[in-house]
Chain A
Amino acid sequence: MIPLFTGHKNFGAIPLIIFFNVLVFNISLGQTITDQSKSNENIFLVKTKQFNEFIDRFNYNTDFYGNRIDSTFMKKMPREKFIATLFDLKDERISTNNNSSSGNYNETKTSFIREVNKNNFLIDKYSANIIAEARSKVIFEGKPETVYVFLNQELVGRDMIKWVILDVRGAILNFLKTDTSLLRFISPSSNETDFINLRRAMEDIDHLQYFAFKDYKVDYLTVFFYLLNQKRIKFEYVEDIIYHIIEIPGWCIKVKEFNRNEMNSGWLISDVMKNNLDLSDYLKSLK
């Protein structure tokens, strides 16, 4: 196998593994990780540098060097411990040396790791159940605003992959307002007057949805595309990404990048929760 890393001549595997064994032991004692004495190179090695690397580590495929996990590594670091290192260990809900730690979250996390390990749950890298939420900066009518673009991967043909936009959310797209104080409708006989009242209805621009059919839902993606097309929105850049992974039966994990110069950094699990929603319902739940 071709190793993912090249030129790692300065690093000894064993000290690193021992370090992580100690690290996991320390975590179990509730200590956070801040090991400033390690060189930046070592930090880079242990850091989960790409989301792809996160999945490889989660699936227990590759070690810190990107080499396939062998029996020696397995003995020193079982999968349960390895997955534990993929959590943001600075999460106050995990850390037990302060008052804000959450017993519930710790229990959920432990139960998740145990279940993944017991059932050998794996994440398919190209699964449609990996949703990337891209918090993005846009300029809307001259002002900076934020929108959330949701994407997942789509298989093309037999073996080609692309990311596609599933949905978009943002305050600027919520152009319709809720108001139940008035009953808005187009009267039953208005067809006989060639819908003269349609003009009045269409002037009620904040509440147009009340004149639509009962199952009408705003398609924010189309609204977004239209505003881009009309040059009322200019897309600037993606500020950060949160991956929602609903691939593991019964669970959802959120993975985001922790940019800090420490071993426990890079793409890490920021949240874990029970989930039984499928992709469509999960997306709808993201308000």
Chain B
Amino acid sequence: MFKKVLLLSLAASISLCLIGQTKTAVTSKQAKIVDEINLSEEDIALFKEQTMQKVEEFQQYIKTLGSKDEPSEKRDMAEKEALKLFYKGAEMETSYILPDSSVQKIIRPMEKYLARLKSLPYTRVIIKYYDIAYIREFTKGPDGKYYSTATIIQEFTGFSNDDIIYKDITKKNVEIIIDIVEDKFFQEKRWKIYLGDIKATETKIANP
């Protein structure tokens, strides 16, 4: 697959140089590249598996970030590494259920969300993820990237010493993007998975 992408990319780059430098020409050629480079069904199936690995990686970083027992260097590292998983500009939307049952949403840049997670006012937190996730099929966008969404569930418990002072179950919908990145060293292009925006919804517990 990578060879196919590489060959197509090189061919497209050569054509680009030949065609000229007007903005219109470059734009139309880019559109052609988008049309030409496609993921096969097998590739997409493979990426679906890799998506789960990325999501699990992110979950692990979240656990480290929230864990007060971990050394601050390790937590800082987790924050940096977690950010690398995301597409530039990704945001986190968090829903809160207010006492009157209305819902308030706050949207933060991912950097801010992760930094905030590191400084939660609990002496200890337990973050548990369920062993399952739902990932929808990938759909190609007009920019040639492939898009999907993974749904995971997180149980969060915040302690003050031994007392639970906060507990919630949150459903997270994580946007997944497969994009072509250029490796300048090897002068090749390859597909890479990124995480995108995340919508976190606190699950309402049913009335008895």
Contacts and interface: CB of A to CB of B under 8 A. Distances in A.
B149 interface: yes
B133 A6 contact: yes
Contact of B141 (A10, A34, A50, A161): A161
B49 A237 contact: no
Contact of A50 (B45, B151, B153, B155): B151
A262 B206 contact: yes
Contacts of B107: 237
A10 B129 CA distance: 14
Contact of A261 (B38, B141, B149, B203): B203
Contact of B155 (A5, A40, A66, A157): A40
> Interface SS of chain A: helix, strand, loop or mixed?
loop
Interface stretch (A41-49, A99-107, A203-211, A269-277): A41-49
B132 A6 contact: yes
B189 interface: no
Contact of A259 (B49, B134, B173, B204): B204
B135 interface: yes
B204 A8 contact: no
B10 to A, nearest CB: 23
B105 A237 contact: yes
A36 interface: yes
A260 B207 CA distance: 9
A2 B153 CA distance: 21
B186 interface: no
A52 B136 contact: yes
Contact of B136 (A4, A6, A7, A44): A4
Contacts of B48: 2
Interface in B12-56: 34-35, 38, 45, 48-49, 52
Contacts of A259: 201, 203-204
B134 A50 contact: yes
Interface residues of A, number: 36
Contacts of A45: 132
A162 B205 CA distance: 34
A171 interface: no
Contacts of A247: none
A11 B105 CA distance: 33
B116 to A, nearest CB: 18
Nearest to B148: A52
Contacts of A156: 142
A239 interface: yes
Nearest to B140: A160
B205 A261 contact: yes
Interface in B122-162: 130-137, 139-142, 144, 149, 151, 153, 155
Given A6-B52, A161-B140, A260-B203, A66 B134 contact: yes
A52 B149 CA distance: 9
State the 3 A-B residue pairs at the shortest beta-carbon distance, nearest first.
A52-B136, A156-B142, A2-B45
5 contacts: A6-B132, A50-B134, A160-B142, A160-B144, A236-B105
Interface of A: 2, 4-11, 34, 36, 40-41, 44-45, 49-50, 52-53, 66, 126, 137, 156-162, 236-237, 239, 259-262
